[in-house]
Structure 1
Amino acid sequence: MDFAFDARTQELRERLLAFMAEHVRPAEALVAEQRAAQDDPWRTPPAVAELQARARKEGLWNLFLPDRAYGAGLSNVQYAPLAEITGHSPQLAPTALNCAAPDTGNMELLAEFGSPEQRERWLEPLLRGEIRSAFAMTEPEVASSDATNIETRIQREGDAYVITGRKWYISGAMNPDCRVFIVMGKTDPEAGDVRRQQSMVLVPRGTPGLEVRRAMHVYGYEDHYHGGHAEIVLDEVRVPVENLIGEEGGGFAIAQARLGPGRIHHCMRLIGMAERAVELMCRRAAGRAAFGKPLAAQGVVQEWIADARVQIEQLRLLVLKTAWLMDTVGNRGAHTEIQAIKIATPRAVVGILDRAVQLHGAGGVSQDFPLAELWAAARTLQLADGPDEVHQRSLARRELKKYA
């Protein structure tokens, strides 16, 4: 395993670092001001559209997609250091580069499993950043950590599918630019293999029976940058059979294919979030004094910063190893490592952010620093894409098999 930057990665990395320093970081406050002044807080502020136009012009667009027909054609190892940089401003940079969830996973899904017609109608506008999308899987009435529990029904009636169910925490759904929902439900609840009961269909926004009911808060935040997290209700929503993605009964496998890259992308960005926290910790420690000496001279502060640096380096190496395995043996061959980073990275980054908040005192929990919102985002990732305990259960079972 060689994690040295190749020429293309280094060139993109330098351009992205400059883009972040010159445009993204300075725009953070402006975007917040514009959003607060809008009648519709879910609408994309003008400053974001300006960043997107600049990113396209500078060739920093769709970097996440390994398929050269649609994206930059980067491997996971090449993309990892770039995704980490976007994690320095996770609420703004991924959107500016058209590399934000849930659109990234939906674009990957459509590129791999969508029909030519589905790609033309939905993937192409997503790639151009003209529309947004949502992925409707999680449900409030069941333990969605086990996807086989999903109760939403997708019934075939002639040349249409009729969908009935309730979903929540559907990322992106509040944004008025969200034009399509990828909905997972059961087409065959009686299938003997519980992993062949589910299917996925495309539901355009505005389809009769589809209601975006309310925005769900995340630790009190509405997460406008990702288009919010909505509760939606599907009441006998009817779509043509051509809106089926892949085959009937293939929904569970498609979901797993979608979530693998999503999990590592989250972990890449989390490392950037931790780096932002260490930067803020060091600046705060150097600029404040307590009990007669700078905070930077306090032993406990030094320990926090040192421990954070060690953890970040450990996490980065594990994420890069996982990326390398995904590139060389595929997602299935990297299953153990994907689960390991999904467990380790949010947990460690939450701890780093927590100490950064502590060092900033009242400022740490305020809107004057990004730390509280970063903490909420990192803590949420201990639930998103599968809670830690599910990954621990699966990983432990695989480990125990060696000794059975």
Structure 2
Amino acid sequence: MTWVTGAQGSPYGVHHLPYGVFRRDGAEPRVGVRVGDLVLDLAGAEAAGLVLAAGTLGRPTLNQFMSLGRPQWLAVRQRVTELLTDPTHRADVEPLLVPLDEVRMALPFEVADYVDFYSSEHHATNVGQIFRPGQPPLLPNWRHLPIGYHGRAGTVVVSGTPVVRPQGQRATPDGPVHGPSVRLDIEAEVGFVVGVPSPLGSRVAAADLADHVFGVVLVNDWSARDIQAWEYQPLGPFLGKSFATSVSAWVTPLDALAHAFVPAPAQDPPVADYLRDTPHLGLDLRLAVTWNGELVSEPPFAGMYWTPAQQLAHLTANGASLRTGDLYASGTVSGPERDQVGSFLELTWGGAEPVRVGGAERTFLADGDTVTITATAPGPDGTTVALGEVTGTILPAR
């Protein structure tokens, strides 16, 4: 039980405690943790001696705290839980609680590198059928390794940041033209934030996920499908993806999702030794996508073919180092049904089957559209964990 008003029964209760970075009254950014609809100022708590984290909670991002490693993450989490549940701490802690509607959230961590995977079999099959009709939807390598690409870390933005419609080349019957994308799309994904780095030339085992990954965010990897379709062969995603990627303002600690791990889908053929994760577990995250406030899809993350642990093992399999602040995303989350897909490319089958949003037929994003992605997961004792939402509104091309 917590003494914090409104936090009991909240999906942001003491069983969750996601981390973020906030500003208040124009002040410098500060690290905080959400409890209910309040933010506990962890920078203030550390300055007052209520929490010990080697001075890292006074920094303007989570990076230095994340670099301390899991023993310190657990110790701080345990201490914050104690502060918010033991009434003897109330007099000291209550002045450090700030109403959520009085703060502005910032990007919670400085992004070092960004990697995006392609790990939903349903999404990959759908995209293959749309982009390569009459050919096998899955390429021969897909079930042997987690396909991915390196993105652009500098264009990762916090939830709520407007997204300017990108410009680029696209194919037309009269040849390629340059201009604003006319097939702007979303990709509903889940991202994993690395805390503990690894040396260049070493590999990280799938079993070591919890020792390196600090937490989880929701991701919208905005995608210009017309630019992507023209440029992606033979080298893959580039300008069709790199203009903006939105992430949650709140990072859910991996330890807060301990009750959400579930058996992942069976893999056939058997994977290479370095990709074997025992037990083979995914996460029971239930996403929801709203388009201008209207629910259009509910993608299930539990059905992802490649797991977060396998993705981590693969991205370091060649000796590539991890850095604090690395972000790797799952790829679009899609289930077997049309109302479970994580992109409008799939929802409208490449634009050929419009859907009704707000009383009008729609295919891809128009200027002024707002897309919000939310997710929930099971917590301890029947509680619910709500991941921080990720939202963005489309602005006209510049």
State the TM-score bracket (shorter-chain normalisation).
under 0.3
Q: TM-score, normalised by structure 1?
A: 0.24
- State the structure with bigger RCO (CA 8 A, min sep 6), 1 or 2: 2
TM-score, scaled to structure 2: 0.24
Higher helix share: 1
